[in-house]
Amino acid sequence: FPEMLSNPRLIPAERIVNVVINQNVTLSCHSDSGSPPVRYTLFKHNQKVSTVNRTDLTPSLFNLTINSPSDVGEYKCKAENNITSGGKYSNSFNFTLLEPISKPVLSSPTSQARKGQNVTLSCLSENGSLPITYIFFKGRRSLSPPVKMQKREAAVIFLFMNSSSDFGTYKCRAENSFSNNTKYSNSFNFTLAEERSHSQPLIISLGLILLLLIVGLALTIRFFIIPSYKASE
């Protein structure tokens, strides 16, 4: 007797889930039970990609090329036979695109600091598949455990500039699951801000007072002493 199809299963034929740009992949769509012939249709984001007809219940294979990030999913397939009204739909499937990371940028709100001051350093790769792991360095010495970011956000560390050795050149390193893909940032330098001398404000104040005295003396001579002298002549 004619039998309705079971819901098909959509899986990668080579068990490949992580892909890179320009990679060829194959998706397999298969109903375990039902009367053939069977027509399988593959959809990507609800748009038809391809259709394959089978005279038996062997899996239908769809060959794809990952040309851009939009090609990683979401995929579904539909199985139809002569008695299955509307067809049966599979699970959805998404590939995970692995992209190489771009060179991270290391930055801080300030490049000058005083001893005893707290500062921050931020490290961010604008491109590359997540998650991305960041490590901060002072010279060749790592400053903290690796920081894994699940979102496209900068990793941030806080530094306390305690001594002269805390000033100098810093870098960060970024890496993700893309093979052989580790990138180092630009160098960032913290310099010691010049400490103002405590006598400097006093000198400026004395200078202003002296200037006011000179101006006052000049006005006194102009409006009081000179008119008095002329009147006595």
Distance CA 64, CA 71 (A): 9
pLDDT tens per residue across span 26-44 = 999 999 999 999 999 999 9
Phi-psi region of 165 (alpha: psi -120 to 50; beta: other; left: phi over 0): alpha
8-97 placed in CATH 3.90.1200.10: no
Residue 60 half-sphere exposure toward CB, CA atoms < 13 A: 27
What would the pLDDT profile of 82-98 be if each residue is shown by its tens digit? 887 789 999 999 999 99
Per-residue pLDDT tens digits for 162-221: 988 899 999 999 999 887 889 999 999 999 887 554 445 566 667 777 777 787 777 677
Nearest in space to 171 (alpha carbons), one of 154, 186, 156, 192: 186
pLDDT tens column, 15-24:
889 999 999 9
Mean pLDDT of 143-162: 94
Rounded Cα distance, 4 and 189, in Å: 70
- Choosing among 3.30.565.10, 2.40.128.110, 1.10.3720.10, 2.60.40.10, the CATH entry for 105-192 is 2.60.40.10
Range(s) within the chain of domains with CATH label 2.60.40.10: 8-97, 105-192
